[in-house]
């Protein structure tokens, strides 16, 4: 088994993976803009879709999900036994580090996104069945209302219910993590909640959006 110092190094590596500013790099490299200066002001997949359209949004979404999956994959180097509670606990620690990296990216002046896509990648890697069910909730709400923020929050709030009620014998750490997911999505979407209540939240447009100079 590897020592604690190496485990800390892997957690730092997970944070750096999460810090990769996919939206920022795609926007600057292919469109010559900083997506944080338009739309919602977030460096995430949703704002990339809103500002630059599908051609930029799909790659950013894919990369952000992969950041979460790859962060969890680092647990294979930890030396913890497969399918053990210590391994799950460590995977959760790596996942939290990756999501924090996305929200507060070292590589982008600590101005990132809301962590939804990276969090999805983390959940897919740790509990694929639960993540798949939450994703179904996301898609249903998104199709019905076309609010990505609302769909994200509903999916996050459904995750603890899925882990507790539908998936039996889940480790205590996974249950705690599921509630952390729900809480994090509510906290990071505070402004979206305010806009939803005021009916000012923009709906997702799948066609290429015009770049708006005024931040929301």
What is the predicted pLDDT for the residue at 159?
Answer: 96
150-171: per-residue pLDDT in tens? 999 999 999 999 999 988 788 8
pLDDT given at position 151: 96
Q: Mean pLDDT for the chain?
A: 91
Reference 45, options 142, 136, 148, 126; nearest CA is 148
Query: Please, is 25 exposed, middle or buried when counting C-beta atoms within 10 Å of its C-beta (0-12, 13-18, 19+)?
Result: middle
The per-residue pLDDT for range 96-148, each reduced to its tens digit, is 999 999 999 999 999 999 999 999 999 999 999 999 999 999 999 999 999 99
Q: Considering Cα of 138, then 140, then 141, then 143, what sign does the dihedral take?
A: positive
**What is the distance between the alpha carbons of residues 107 and 46, in angstroms, rounded to a whole number?**
20
Half-sphere exposure (Cβ direction) of 209: Cα atoms closer than 13 Å:
23
What confidence score (pLDDT) does residue 206 get?
Answer: 52
pLDDT of residue 147: 94
Is the pLDDT at 63 greater than 90? The verdict is yes
pTM here? Answer: 0.89
Amino acid 196: pLDDT = 95
Confidence of residue 40 (pLDDT cuts 50, 70, 90): confident
Q: How far apart are CA 151 and CA 128, in angstroms?
A: 19
**CA dist., res. 143 & res. 162, Å (int):** 21
Q: Which of 58, 56, 71 has its CA nearest to residue 25?
A: 56
pLDDT band for position 83 (cuts 50, 70, 90): confident
Nearest alpha-carbon partner for 102 in 60, 141, 144, 134 = 60
Closest CA to 130 of 122, 142, 141: 122
Q: How far is CA 173 from CA 56, 94, 118, 153, in A?
A: 36, 13, 19, 21
So what's the pLDDT on residue 167? 85
At 171 the three-state DSSP class reads: coil
| pLDDT at residue 170 in the model | 85
More confident residue, 149 or 212: 149
């Amino acid at each position: 088994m590897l020592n604690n110092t190496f485990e800390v190094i892997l957690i730092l590596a997970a944070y750096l993976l999460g810090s990769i500013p996919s939206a920022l790099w795609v926007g600057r490299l292919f469109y010559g803009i900083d997506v944080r200066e338009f739309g919602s002001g977030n460096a995430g997949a949703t704002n990339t879709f809103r500002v630059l359209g599908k051609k930029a949004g799909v790659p950013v979404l894919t990369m952000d999900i992969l950041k979460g999956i790859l962060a969890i994959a680092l647990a294979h180097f930890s030396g913890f036994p497969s399918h053990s509670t210590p391994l799950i606990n460590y995977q959760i620690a790596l996942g939290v580090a990756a999501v924090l990296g996305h929200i507060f990216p070292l590589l982008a002046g600590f101005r990132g996104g809301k962590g939804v896509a990276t969090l999805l990648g983390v959940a897919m890697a740790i509990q694929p069945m639960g993540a798949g069910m939450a994703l179904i909730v996301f898609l249903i709400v998104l199709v019905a209302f076309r609010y990505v923020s609302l769909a994200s929050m509903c999916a996050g709030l459904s995750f603890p219910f899925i882990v507790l009620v539908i998936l039996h014998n889940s480790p205590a750490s996974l249950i705690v993590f599921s509630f952390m997911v729900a809480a994090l999505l509510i906290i990071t979407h505070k402004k979206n909640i305010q806009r939803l209540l005021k009916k000012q939240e923009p709906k997702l447009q799948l066609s290429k959006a015009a770049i708006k100079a005024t931040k929301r």
